[in-house]
Chains A and B, each alone.
Chain A
């Protein structure tokens, strides 16, 4: 079984500052890792994913994440945030090669970008 921990429920940050949203996971099998973003009144939108290969993954809107197998982490980063990045961010894992690919989500992190 897999589990995901997002330690920060809320992260306030000033505009143009860097941000890191933390995600740790546990699994006894190989996993695929995802970050999704939910803007108000919208569905979840994929920011980026890690399947295999390079551990640094670049996504949309200037976000990137680094897969660290030894620390079982997949932290999301952006060097300079904008007001429009205010949203809720979800980290998710699925068991690689499981055939079902159901997601296990973290509890979400609300990013609030301040002017």
Chain B
């Protein structure tokens, strides 16, 4: 069984540019989560999808972040326009219930 995959693994962009991160969950997992770790800090929750619906987006930092989950399968997280403080590692996780399976993360660097 394939695990959670994320693309790209690394992204370096300039301030003001747009970046889109993609997450492919484990097949059959209805729950999909996005988290972010800013350097030196804890991993923080961003949002939670159940199938294609946003169940909880209380962790989204501001309206420069847009998450979608088309057809309840893969998800994208777009940052537009990117700011320096958006740098960090973005993790995606999927689950049936309370146990989450994490992807390797996307390291985003905004210069």
Tally of contact residues, A, Cβ under 8 A:
25
Q: Is B25 an interface residue (CB 8 A)?
A: no
A95's nearest neighbour on chain B, judged by CB, is B98
CB distance from A25 to the nearest CB of B (A): 13
Stretch at the interface among A13-21, A44-52, A54-62: A44-52
Contacts of B100 in A (CB 8 A): 101, 103
Contacts of B93 in A (CB 8 A): 44, 103
Interface size class on chain B is 20 to 34
Contacting residue for B42 out of A51, A99, A100, A105, CB 8 A:
A105
Contacting residue for B31 out of A36, A96, A101, CB 8 A:
A101
A44's nearest neighbour on chain B, judged by CB, is B102
Stretch at the interface among B13-21, B43-51, B64-72, B74-82: B43-51
Q: Is A90 an interface residue (CB 8 A)?
A: yes
Given contacts A43-B91, A108-B42, contact A103 B35 (CB under 8 A): yes
- Assess whether B105 is in contact with A43, with CB atoms less than 8 Å apart: yes
- Assess whether B103 is in contact with A43, with CB atoms less than 8 Å apart: yes
Given contacts A32-B98, A100-B56, A102-B33, contact A44 B91 (CB under 8 A): yes
Q: Is A42 an interface residue (CB 8 A)?
A: yes
- Assess whether A42 is in contact with B104, with CB atoms less than 8 Å apart: yes
- Assess whether A107 is in contact with B4, with CB atoms less than 8 Å apart: no
Given contacts A41-B104, A43-B103, contact A102 B45 (CB under 8 A): yes
- Assess whether A104 is in contact with B45, with CB atoms less than 8 Å apart: yes
Between-chain CB contacts (< 8 Å), 30 pairs: A34-B99, A36-B102, A41-B104, A43-B3, A43-B4, A43-B91, A43-B102, A43-B104, A44-B93, A44-B102, A45-B102, A46-B99, A90-B43, A96-B98, A101-B31, A101-B97, A102-B33, A102-B45, A103-B33, A103-B35, A103-B43, A103-B45, A103-B93, A104-B45, A105-B42, A105-B43, A105-B44, A106-B42, A108-B42, A108-B43
State the B residues within 8 Å of A (CB). Answer: 3-4, 31, 33, 35, 41-45, 48, 55-56, 59, 91, 93, 95, 97-105
